[in-house]
Chains A and B, each alone.
Chain A
Amino acid sequence: MLNFIDTVGQAVAGIKDGSTVMIGGFGNAGQPFELIDALLDSGATDLTVVNNNAGQGDQGLALLIKEGRVRKMICSFPRQSDSWHFDAKYKAGEIELELVPQGNLAERIRAAGAGIGGFFTPTGYGTMLAEGKHTRFLDGKWQVFETPIHADVALIKALKADGKGNLVYRKTARNFGPIMAAAAKHTIVQVSEIVPTGALDPENVVTPGIYVNSIVKVA
């Protein structure tokens, strides 16, 4: 069921404490700042957040972490020059970290949306990030078994949506949006523009509307 929603506050109002929330973006590109701010205002807490990073500077995901709303981060690259809020929480033992190689993170999210129960990948074999995981020699190389990452909610940013919820993105801000939209039970999208149904060339639709539940336009 697709809904067009007036405000970001209403869009995130159903997110419960303890939810797993996927948040799109690579660094700041594609990060749905307005939806994250609304999630912060909603008071939802004890969240597991899936994102490539763990927040930058004093905005978006970094503030959610600073305010203690995130119990666990699943990400590939938490440490950056300006990830001070995550760094402080991690060093204080106040946030759990599941570190995942970036391609495994992407494929685990994709697998969830595609109904795959797990997959073998060569990435990470022989490293500490594969410790304790099932391995097999397949297709000429050692591979590691990885499981899907599901989520209750995805918050993503796209450029445009049409009346059917079809999405197009902009440049490298696309990043995790399409796979997170498919992996979450409920996908909330902030867009810069809502266009009439039929205005997007079907050949150019990146995320079909079947994966989208809520759309909110932000300025």
Chain B
Amino acid sequence: MSIQTSTTPLGRDDLARLVARDIAPGSFVNLGIGQPTLVSNYLTEEQNITLHTENGMLGMGPEAKGEEIDGDLINAGKIPVTELPGASYFHHADSFAIMRGGHLDICVLGAFQVSATGDLANWHTGAPDAIPAVGGAMDLATGAKDVFVMMTLLTREGVSKLVEHCSYPLTGVGCVTRVYTDKAVFLIGPDGVTVRETFGCTFEELQALVPVPLVPFDEKAAGAVVGV
């Protein structure tokens, strides 16, 4: 059976829908800032997911509109949001204890690069004139039980962001467990990088783009792959 599940690469919203579908019911999840926040648009009520935001809240609701906007109620991206029934507020040290203490099931982050062993680079290009800003990225990468990355597989120059070793400064070591890209979903584990599915390319075409040895997902051996 082919692991190609789509004849075209996935757009941002399709990718967000796919990540949302893969989040186990009842999970506590942090969606970082930027592209991963799109995932919240596709979480269903039946999934009963509780969203955490690093600035001190569990039970975050959708983006606030119109009269709902309240400057005291924002998310990590400083966008006004809403609270859902059952929400709670806590100070920053407690919020990061939730991460560091291993209480979050999943965080979803963007990335500049991910290595074959799950190293993440997503906070700094390393350019000498860049102003570095890290926020909660290192804490999330280190603390959540599963770290999912959402990114395009290739840079604008056509270079793979899934790499043998990250050349950008690291955010965390060996922390990424899955990478969702427009061209494929990668599972990163002790046995290397497994391709769960491809979009708009065959496994062989994908391997030609990525400088890391890939293993096609084998349904018969699926018991060995965590979380699928």
Contacts and interface: CB of A to CB of B under 8 A. Distances in A.
Given A103-B139, A175-B56, A178-B91, A29 B71 contact: yes
A201 to B, nearest CB: 16
Interface residues of A, number: 49
A158 to B, nearest CB: 11
A99 B136 contact: no
B132 A99 contact: yes
A127 B99 contact: no
Contacts, number: 141
A107 B89 contact: no
Contact of A29 (B72, B119, B134): B72
Contacts of A101: 134-139
Given A28-B71, A126-B173, A175-B55, A103 B91 contact: no
Interface stretch (B150-158, B164-172, B182-190, B198-206): B164-172
A176 interface: yes
A102 B91 contact: no
Interface in A92-133: 97, 99-107, 109-110, 121-129
B109 to A, nearest CB: 14
B91 A179 contact: yes
Contacts of B91: 106, 174-179, 206
Given A91-B129, A110-B93, A123 B138 contact: yes
- Most-contacted residue by chain B among A29, A106, A173 (CB, 10 A): A106
Contacts of B93: 106-107, 109-110, 179
A196 B129 CA distance: 53
Interface string A13-36: 000000000000011111000000
B193 interface: no
A174 B99 contact: no
Contacts of A79: 131-133
B14 interface: no
